[in-house]
């Protein structure tokens, strides 16, 4: 065994890696934000002295580059438009909650959805200081039934169990918005009412089938991811909810997948077996009609949404721009290729590589399983 102290062990390696990431972010800012040599030298000196903390510009660029780097996102053409809200001084749950409601209102923007990230207190040597328990700030409850079925969204059954144990009682419907849960380290989690007044929801209608509205389907306008950690400049931000806008097939999948709302059999039954004379295609027809309803309904409600063909074209434009700047594009094929008509989109026919890059957004352990109260 080595006897040279923690510098030879995991903690020293982590510090060295964090410092290297911070240096990389500063050098990236210097190039891409056109810093003076003097400014870069000053910031590197602070890093070497152990006094460096990312300033507003460094944090903003780090969060934006994390979006640019994220291999599972097709919408990165607009990475420079991300609005970064610096709330690193906040770890009090009540203040976090107020900021989350502000985030929802600003991001929704009356349907003209804006990409926003709100960054709360960073992790320290003891780990996260505050966590948001929700997977997304908006989401629908999933109520387990005695027969093993689920009313609502099966993706949220575990979280629904948790909030019911904390005292929340939902209406038991298919589309009950979930409450928000925020926890500061060393304290019990705090339960806040479902943000109903801050959630724009779109009822789904079909451009041709009048009966479609009778299904009672709807979805929320803004997907604010709340359970990922932003890693920028060697610092983890475990509470950093962020959003773009939906691609239509994302909503379609949430409603169509057998492990989610499983609406394809219902739609197919109402469209004469999916309008197909060949039985194996009933799912295909039903899925297309569902996605048509999503696109039609969001457009009618004047809520920003992109279809999968346009998103694919925009992603290739992003990749071309990055290539011209000499930057490699990290992309996960299974996420970039849309789940509908994949081979009819240009991204299907390209090879993509997933790179280990920083800054980026990463999955983290489920809060109620790992975060100590």
What residues are labeled active site?
Answer: 73, 76, 245, 250
The C-alpha atoms of residue 286 and residue 275 are separated, in whole angstroms, by 8
Q: How far is CA 228 from the centre of its chain?
A: 7
Dihedral sign, Cα of residue 87, residue 19, residue 242, residue 109? positive
Q: Where are the beta strands (DSSP E) in 71-126?
A: 83-86, 116-119
Cα distances from 5 to residues 15, 49, 127, 234, in angstroms, run 14, 21, 21, 22
Report the candidate in 261, 285, 279 with the shortest Cα–Cα distance to residue 340. Answer: 285
Strand partners, 349: none
205's CB contacts (< 8 A; 6+ apart) are: 212, 213, 293, 296, 297, 300
Distance CA 341, CA 331 (A): 19
| CA-closest candidate to residue 344, choices 310, 309, 305 | 309
Residue 339: alpha-carbon gap to chain centroid = 18
The structure tokens listed for 121 are: 């207190």
> In what helix (H) or strand (E) does residue 266 lie, and over which residues does it extend?
helix 264-270
β-strand pairing of 116-119 with 83-86: parallel
- Residue 102, H or E segment: helix 93-108
Phi-psi region at 3: left, alpha or beta (left = phi > 0; alpha = psi -120 to 50): alpha
Report the alpha-carbon distance of residue 347 to residue 75 in Å, rounded. 12
How many CB atoms lie under 10 A from the CB of residue 354?
A: 13
């Amino acid at each position: 065994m080595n006897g040279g102290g923690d510098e030879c062990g995991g903690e020293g390696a982590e510090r060295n890696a964090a410092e290297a990431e911070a240096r990389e972010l500063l050098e990236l800012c210097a190039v891409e934000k056109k810093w003076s040599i003097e400014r870069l030298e000053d910031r590197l000196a602070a890093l070497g002295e152990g006094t460096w903390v990312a300033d507003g510009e460094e944090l903003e660029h780090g969060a934006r580059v994390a979006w640019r780097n994220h291999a599972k996102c097709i919408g990165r053409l607009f990475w420079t438009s991300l609005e970064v809200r610096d709330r690193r001084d906040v770890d009090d749950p009540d203040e976090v909650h107020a900021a989350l409601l502000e985030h929802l209102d600003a991001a929704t923007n009356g349907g003209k959805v804006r990409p926003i990230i709100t960054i709360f207190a960073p992790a320290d040597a003891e780990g996260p200081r505050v966590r948001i328990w929700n997977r997304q700030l908006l989401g629908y409850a999933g109520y387990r039934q005695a027969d093993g079925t689920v009313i609502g969204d099966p993706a949220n059954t575990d979280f629904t169990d948790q909030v019911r144990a904390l005292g929340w009682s939902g209406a038991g419907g298919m589309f009950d918005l979930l409450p928000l849960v925020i926890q500061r380290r060393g304290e019990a989690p705090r339960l806040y009412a479902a943000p109903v007044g801050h959630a724009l929801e779109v009822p789904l209608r079909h451009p041709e089938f009048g009966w479609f509205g009778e299904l009672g389907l709807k979805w929320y306008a803004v997907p604010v991811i709340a359970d990922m950690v932003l890693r920028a400049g060697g610092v983890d931000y475990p509470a950093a909810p962020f959003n773009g806008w939906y691609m239509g097939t994302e909503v379609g999948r949430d409603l169509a997948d057998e492990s989610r709302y499983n609406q394809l059999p219902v739609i197919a039954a109402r469209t004469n077996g999916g309008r197909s004379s060949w039985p194996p295609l009933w799912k295909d027809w039903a899925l297309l009609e569902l996605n048509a309803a999503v696109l039609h309904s969001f457009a009618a409600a004047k809520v920003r949404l992109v279809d999968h063909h346009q998103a694919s074209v925009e992603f290739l434009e992003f990749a071309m721009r990055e290539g011209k700047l000499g930057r490699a594009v990290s992309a996960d094929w299974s996420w970039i290729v849309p789940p509908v008509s994949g081979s009819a989109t240009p991204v299907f026919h390209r090879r993509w590589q997933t790179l280990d890059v920083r800054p980026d957004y990463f999955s983290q352990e489920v809060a109620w399983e790992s975060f100590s109260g």
